[in-house]
């Protein structure tokens, strides 16, 4: 049943300004007035990011609304993680074709669950009618001068990635096939489900980003493909990059379903991982174990920054011809 705009905000979104039922003391005024009033902690820098998900481009038509709510926040938390920031507040601009209760309930549950897990308060937003589009803005803090950047890496710094890149891209392919009415081959069930979950419910590496402050020389979150995003980090740092194909951490599910060659390609070029890729001066290596522990996810050294610009992919000790192609919305939309 459709609901009115004010009902809708009240019923589904107002309660998310108390993440997990606990109010944040720094929210002086949340949902309900013309704007939110927020107290930035003394001596901290404010870090802001916004990302938009459009139906048919960032998620498939008919996608589970829980996943849309989760991903809309997760992609933003991932941007804050890449800066080493502590997320605090979010705003939601929601454009909906119709205010359907079942959709809103599930969407708010997906967003609310992730927000509660990170103690993020939804402090405001905007609701309009139109093609399904979800914009979330997140705000967070970082101690002065400690934000991680893409620039800052130097030749000789080791390059790391968290988690197992490529899984989400494989999961999206399985989602597409299911949406097209395709049938999963026998034996695929568990591995396929694991990969789909990686696409539908990515884990933003917020704790890892925080633990990398003062340790990583540069950091980026991997949203458009590892090779392309690593190349962006290297270029911003005024460096080039040697990537070791044999070192890439491919998950057992990805290997099983995609086979070794396709798995490698998905890990390098697939999107939607929301892992962190960072450079580390070798002298900092002993301290990385502590960050890995705090981050709660595996970290793998996949290469090294070099003086010469560009990306060089090595396999079996030999250089492979390779052109890094990150996802580009405008290049891919024609
Ligand atoms: P205004 O017309 O002043 O922009 P709105 O009716 O758009 O007011 O919003 C009323 C209140 O509800 C504001 O506090 C706004 O931040 C909040 N709000 C509107 N839409 C959403 C949403 N989708 N999620 C969270 N808060 C929302
Ligand atoms: Mg408004």
Q: Tell me, what's the pLDDT at 219?
A: 98
Which residues make up the CATH 3.30.1330.10 domain(s) of the chain?
5-142
SS3 201: coil
**Shortest-distance atom of ligand 1 to CA 6:** 6
For the segment 33-45, the average pLDDT, to the nearest whole number, is 97
**Shortest-distance atom of ligand 1 to CA 31:** 14
Ligand 1 mutation pick, 11, 91, 125, max ligand atoms within 8 A of CB: 125
What digits encode the pLDDT tens for the residues 41-87?
999 999 999 999 999 999 999 999 999 999 999 999 999 999 999 99
226: confidence class by pLDDT, cuts 50, 70, 90: very high
Beta pairing, strands 275-280 & 158-162: antiparallel
Q: Give strand ranges (E) for 68-212.
A: 86-96, 121-129, 133-142, 158-162
Q: Is 16 in the pocket of ligand 1 (CB under 6 A)?
A: no
Residues 86 and 210: beta-carbon distance below 8 Å: yes
**Shortest-distance atom of ligand 1 to CA 126:** 20
Q: Is 94 in the pocket of ligand 1 (CB under 6 A)?
A: yes
Alpha helices in 133-273 (DSSP H): 167-179, 189-200, 206-211, 226-236, 252-269
330 C-alpha to ligand 2 centroid (Å): 29
Q: Is 13 in the pocket of ligand 1 (CB under 6 A)?
A: yes
Pairwise CA distance, residues 118 & 202, whole Å: 14
pTM recorded for the entire structure: 0.94
Longest Cα–Cα distance of the chain, Å, equals 62
What digits encode the pLDDT tens for the residues 98-143?
999 999 999 999 999 999 999 999 999 999 999 999 999 999 999 9
Q: Between 3.20.20.70, 3.30.1330.10, 3.40.50.620, 3.40.50.300, what CATH number should domain 5-142 receive? A: 3.30.1330.10
Residue 200, both tokens: 């539908």
Residue with CA closest to ligand 1 atom 24: 125
Which residues make up the CATH 3.90.650.10 domain(s) of the chain?
158-183+191-320
Q: Tell me, what's the pLDDT at 333?
A: 38
Q: What is the percentage of the chain residues whose pLDDT exceeds 90?
A: 87
What digits encode the pLDDT tens for the residues 294-311?
999 999 999 999 999 999
For the segment 167-181, the average pLDDT, to the nearest whole number, is 92
Question: For the purposes of burial, counting CB atoms within 10 Å of the CB of 291, is it exposed (0-12), middle (13-18) or buried (19 or more)?
Answer: buried
Q: What's the chain's average pLDDT?
A: 93
Q: Is the pLDDT of residue 150 over 70?
A: yes
Q: Tell me, what's the pLDDT at 188?
A: 76
Q: Does domain 158-183+191-320 have CATH number 3.40.50.720?
A: no
4 C-alpha to ligand 2 centroid (Å): 14
Ligand 1 mutation pick, 127, 132, 134, 138, max ligand atoms within 8 A of CB: 127
């Amino acid at each position: 049943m459709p609901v009115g705009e004010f009902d809708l905000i009240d019923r589904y979104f107002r309660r998310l300004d108390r993440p997990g039922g606990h109010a944040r003391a720094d929210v002086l005024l949340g949902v309900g007035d013309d704007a939110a009033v927020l107290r930035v902690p003394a001596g901290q820098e404010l870090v802001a990011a916004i990302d938009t998900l459009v139906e048919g481009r960032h998620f498939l038509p008919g996608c589970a609304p829980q996943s849309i709510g989760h991903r809309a926040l997760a992609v933003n938390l991932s941007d804050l993680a890449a800066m080493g920031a502590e997320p605090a507040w979010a705003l939601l601009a929601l454009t909906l074709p119709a205010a359907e209760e079942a959709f809103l309930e599930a969407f708010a549950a997906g967003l609310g669950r992730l927000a509660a897990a990170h103690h993020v308060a939804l402090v405001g937003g905007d609701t309009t009618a139109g093609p399904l589009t979800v914009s979330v803005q997140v705000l967070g803090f970082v101690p002065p001068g400690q934000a991680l950047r893409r620039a800052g890496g130097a030749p000789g710094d080791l390059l790391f990635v968290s988690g197992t890149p490529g899984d989400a891209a494989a999961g999206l392919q399985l989602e597409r096939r299911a949406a097209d009415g395709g049938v999963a081959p026998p034996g695929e069930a568990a591995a396929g489900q694991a990969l789909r979950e990686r696409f539908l419910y990515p884990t933003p590496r917020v704790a890892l980003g925080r633990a990398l402050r003062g340790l990583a020389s540069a950091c980026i979150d991997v949203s458009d493909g590892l090779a392309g995003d690593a190349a962006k980090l290297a270029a911003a740092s005024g460096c080039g990059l040697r990537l070791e194909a044999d070192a890439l951490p491919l998950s057992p599910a990805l290997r099983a379903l995609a086979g070794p060659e396709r798995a490698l390609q998905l890990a390098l070029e697939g999107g939607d991982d929301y892992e962190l890729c960072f450079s580390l001066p070798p002298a900092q290596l002993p301290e990385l174990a502590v960050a890995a522990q705090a981050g709660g996810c595996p970290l793998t050294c996949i290469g090294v920054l070099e003086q010469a610009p560009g990306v060089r992919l090595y396999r079996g000790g030999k250089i492979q011809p390779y052109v890094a192609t990150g996802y580009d919305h405008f290049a891919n939309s024609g």
